Amino acid sequence: MMDVDRQLLAEKIRAYHKKELTKNDLALWAYECRLSVDLDQMEKDDPLVHDVILTLIKYSEQPQLVPPRDTLQLYLSCLEGTQKYVTQVEGRRWSWKRFLVVLQHLIGRLLFFTMRVYVIIFAIGVMVVNYLVLQLPEAFESPKVLISFWAGLKNYLPLSFYSVIEQQIADPQFYVFIRSIRPQHEMAQIPLLHLLFALLALLPPTMVVKTIIFTIALPMLGLGMLYYWFVTWEIAAKVAFVFMIEQKIALLWTAAGIGIPATLAFILLLIKTRSYQTK
């Protein structure tokens, strides 16, 4: 009979974390434990040891699976006594604490999804504006060019939305406003950089962290965040002057459309980077 206790299990998990044991080594050891101990009795004596061994056995029966690092870390904390363990049976019981944990998880996912949609809308706007600057440099100088471009999208957009934008770009004052707030520094005259930033922001962070694109995306989104906040301050000052409103209100309005979504693009990548590294 193999003597299996919390200390031995903790040592095995630590060895796996240090790469002294492979996934197969850990799973095989757990499988041997099942053959040499009475699992039913172990479940009564120590439910934690029982559940950890069963979890590890699962990876011997399904070789394509990899033990999640956060799951093993949770087990290790419980084995070391630094965290209370809730058995699988207790975990299935209704409790306010469990409900709040699930609710927090759902809110977190909804918040992440909302931020992603926010970033995607911003990135698409950046791509459209800089595509026009690149392909139709005179687009923001005359209604004729922009109206012609917009007409080509009529069959792909809701009629109400199309009509509202069409009325806006047909107004000569729209171009006066654009020229009055448009950044004039050198970086603003390089649309390809803006297109690259928008493309990286559009890519799913979960995919980016797993590929070599990450080495480009992280610094590019970080520098882009700083640049777009610079643009936010510059445009906010011009908007406050043109519309004769308070600087704070102009800054809040401009930040919502430029600085904040650019920051979220960088933050979401950092979140997924940390999540990927802990797996």
Q: What is the pLDDT of residue 277?
A: 61
List, for the chain, all residue ranges whose pLDDT scores fall below the cut of 50.
Answer: 1, 90-93
Q: What does the domain layout of the chain look like in residue ranges?
A: 6-91, 119-140+182-277
Q: What pLDDT does 199 receive?
A: 95
- What local confidence, expressed as pLDDT, does residue 62 receive? 65
Tell me the whole-structure pTM to 2 decimals: 0.58
Q: How many other C-beta atoms are found inside a 10 Å radius of the C-beta of residue 53? A: 21
pLDDT tens profile 141-156? 666 666 666 676 667 6
The CA distance from 235 to 255, in Å, is: 10
Average per-residue pLDDT in the chain?
A: 79
Neighbour count for residue 80 (Cβ, 10 Å): 13
Backbone angles phi, psi at 140, to 5 degrees: -95, 15
For 192, the token pair is: 């390809």
* Through-space distance between the first and last CA atoms of the chain, rounded to whole angstroms: 33
Query: For the chain, what percentages of helix, strand and coil (3-state, to nearest 5) are there?
Result: 80, 0, 20
Instruction: Enter the tokens of residue 17.
Output: 């974390």
Q: Tell me, what's the pLDDT at 92?
A: 47
pLDDT in tens, 172-207: 666 666 666 566 555 556 788 889 999 999 999 989
